[in-house]
Amino acid sequence: MALIIQKYGGTSVGNIDRIRAVAKRVIQSAGRGDKVVVVVSAMAGETNRLIELGKTVSRRSEGREFDVLLATGEQVTTALLALAIEEEGRRAVSFLGHQVQITTSGAFSKARIESVNTVRTLEALNDGYIVVVAGFQGATREGSITTLGRGGSDITAVALGVALKADRVEFYKDVDGIYTADPAVCPDARMLPKVTYEEMLEMSYLGAKVLHPRCVEMARRNRLPLIVRSSLNFNPGTSVVTEEEIMEYAAVAGIVCDKNQVKVSLLNIPDKPGILAGVFTAIAEDEINIDMIVEDTTGADRATSVSFTCGSADLGAAEKAAKKITAKYPGSSYAVRSGLNKLSIVGAGMRLHSGVASKMFTALAREGISVYMVNTSDIKVSCLIEAKYSELGVRTLHDVFELGKPQPRKAARTAKAARK
C-alpha cells in the first residue's frame, strides 16, 4: 500500500464538472488500496480575480490581508472537492494550511515553509479518509495566514510528500507531461517519459511553466519521485527521477524559451575592485531580479563594461538603476535592449557530449539569428535572442538536436559513471 500525494492545478479544478471528475479519479486511486492526500489550487483565474478585487480597495497588491484574501481561493476548491468525493460515497476531509499546521515564515505573499505537522493528516488517513489539503497556504507560528508565492501549490504538495514520507507526488495538469519543446510551437515535440531532477530544475528556472522550481529542488534534496501527467486522460506522463534511474542520455533533453527578457549594459565604468559589488548592491536594493551577468574588461584602459539581464517587469527599475549608477562615473553610459527571449537547451547528457554549444550557435547562425548573451551550466546553454526569432529558434534547435525522433541509444552508462 502506497501513500500518494496528488496535486491538481487550477485548470483541473476549473469548474464543477472537472471537480467531479477529479473526485472520481482520486477515489479510483484510493480504491487500489493506496492512501491518498490531494492538494488543490484555486479554480483557474480565481487568484488573479482576488488580487484585482483587493486592488479595488487598496493601493497595495500584497501583504498580510492579501494573503487572507488569496487563501480563500484554495479554501473553496478544497471544500468542493471533499464534498464531491463524499457524494461519490467515499469519506473525505478537507484541511486548510493552518489546520494541517503548515508553518511558514512571516514573509507575506512569498512565505517559506518551515515545518509540516503530520499528526492530523496521518490520523485521518488511518481512519480511512481521503485528505484534501489547500495548496499555496500556511500560517506563521503566531497564526497569521500566509501564501507561498504564485504557483505555490506545487510546493505544498512536495512539502507534504516529504513530511509524510510519501511514495510519490503526482502532478495533474492540462498537459500530458514534460515535452522536448512547447508543442504549440513545435508540432513534432515529444513527451519525455523520464527527466532528471536537475533537468527539470533547469527547465523550471528557464521558463517551462510546468512545475515550480522550489518544489523540484525540495523533491531532489529528498529524492522524492515526481510524476507529471494529465488529469484528462490516463497516459503515464513524465517521471522526474535521479540520474541513476536514467541509463542513457541524449545530449539535449529539451528546448525552453523564457519570454520578456531585458538586457542592460553599463559601459565604460571604472575597472577596480569593489565596483561590481557597488553596482549589484544598488540593483539589489531596487529589488530587481537579475538573471545573467557578463563583465568584459577588454574596453578602454581601466574601464570595464558589465551587462545583466532581468525580466521586462523590472525594465523601469533597471533603467533607473543604470542611470543612477552611470551618473556617478564620468565617461560611462548605459544601454537597454528589451524585446529579448532566453532560448535554452537543457540536458544531463551534455556532460558526456562535447560540441553541444557550438552546434547550437551554428544552427542559430544558419538561420540568421543573432545571440546577444550566452550563459551556461554543466547541463544547459542559454542564448539571449530577439523575441521575434524565438519560435524559429526553438524549431531550429529541436531539429538540429533531433528531438522529434526517438533518441539514439548510445553508451549505456550514467552521467555519474562518466564523470568518474
Q: List contacts with Mg ion (CB under 5 A).
A: 9, 151
Cβ-based nearer residue to Mg ion, 40 or 130: 40
Instruction: Output the smallest distance, CB 415 to Mg ion, in A.
Output: 30
With CB under 5 to 8 Å by kind, the binding choice for 42 among ligand ASP, Mg ion, none is ligand ASP
With CB under 5 to 8 Å by kind, the binding choice for 108 among Mg ion, ligand ASP, none is none
Judge residue 252's burial from the number of C-beta atoms within 10 Å of its C-beta, 0-12 exposed, 13-18 middle, 19 or more buried. Answer: buried
With CB under 5 to 8 Å by kind, the binding choice for 152 among ligand ASP, Mg ion, none is ligand ASP
Label the pairing between strands 102-104 and 113-116.
Answer: antiparallel
Instruction: Output the smallest distance, CB 309 to ligand ASP, in A.
Output: 24
Instruction: Output the smallest distance, CB 171 to Mg ion, in A.
Output: 9
Instruction: Output the smallest distance, CB 241 to ligand ASP, in A.
Output: 23
* 93's grid cell: 476531509
With CB under 5 to 8 Å by kind, the binding choice for 73 among Mg ion, ligand ASP, none is ligand ASP
Instruction: Bin 39: left if φ > 0, else alpha if -120 < ψ < 50, else beta.
Output: beta
Instruction: Output the smallest distance, CB 420 to ligand ASP, in A.
Output: 40
Instruction: Output the smallest distance, CB 150 to ligand ASP, in A.
Output: 4
Gap between the Cα atoms of 328 and 152, Å rounded:
40
With CB under 5 to 8 Å by kind, the binding choice for 135 among ligand ASP, Mg ion, none is ligand ASP
Q: Strand order in 373-377's β-sheet?
A: 290-296, 303-311, 254-270, 333-346, 380-386, 373-377
390-400 vs 356-366: helix crossing angle, rounded to 10: 130
φ, ψ of residue 217 to 5 degrees: the values are -60, -45
Beta carbons within 10 angstroms of residue 400's beta carbon: 17
With CB under 5 to 8 Å by kind, the binding choice for 213 among Mg ion, ligand ASP, none is none
Cβ-based nearer residue to Mg ion, 36 or 155: 155
Cβ-based nearer residue to ligand ASP, 10 or 347: 10
Gap between the Cα atoms of 156 and 335, Å rounded:
41
Cβ-based nearer residue to Mg ion, 151 or 254: 151
Query: Which residues contact ligand ASP by CB under 6 A?
Result: 10, 41-42, 47, 73, 135-136, 150-153
Label the pairing between strands 130-134 and 168-173.
Answer: unpaired
With CB under 5 to 8 Å by kind, the binding choice for 168 among ligand ASP, Mg ion, none is none
With CB under 5 to 8 Å by kind, the binding choice for 11 among Mg ion, ligand ASP, none is none
CB contact burial 132-143 (16+ within 10 A = b; e otherwise): bbbbbbbbbeee
Contact call for residues 134 and 38 (beta carbons, < 8 A): no
Cβ-based nearer residue to Mg ion, 11 or 265: 11
Cβ-based nearer residue to ligand ASP, 20 or 150: 150
Least Cα distance to 8 among 42, 47, 46, 51 occurs for 42
Task: Count the alpha carbons within 13 Å of 306 in the hemisphere toward its beta carbon.
Answer: 20
DSSP class of residue 76 equals H
Cβ-based nearer residue to ligand ASP, 95 or 136: 136
Instruction: Output the smallest distance, CB 403 to ligand ASP, in A.
Output: 29
Instruction: Output the smallest distance, CB 155 to ligand ASP, in A.
Output: 8
Gap between the Cα atoms of 51 and 136, Å rounded:
15
Cβ-based nearer residue to ligand ASP, 46 or 258: 46
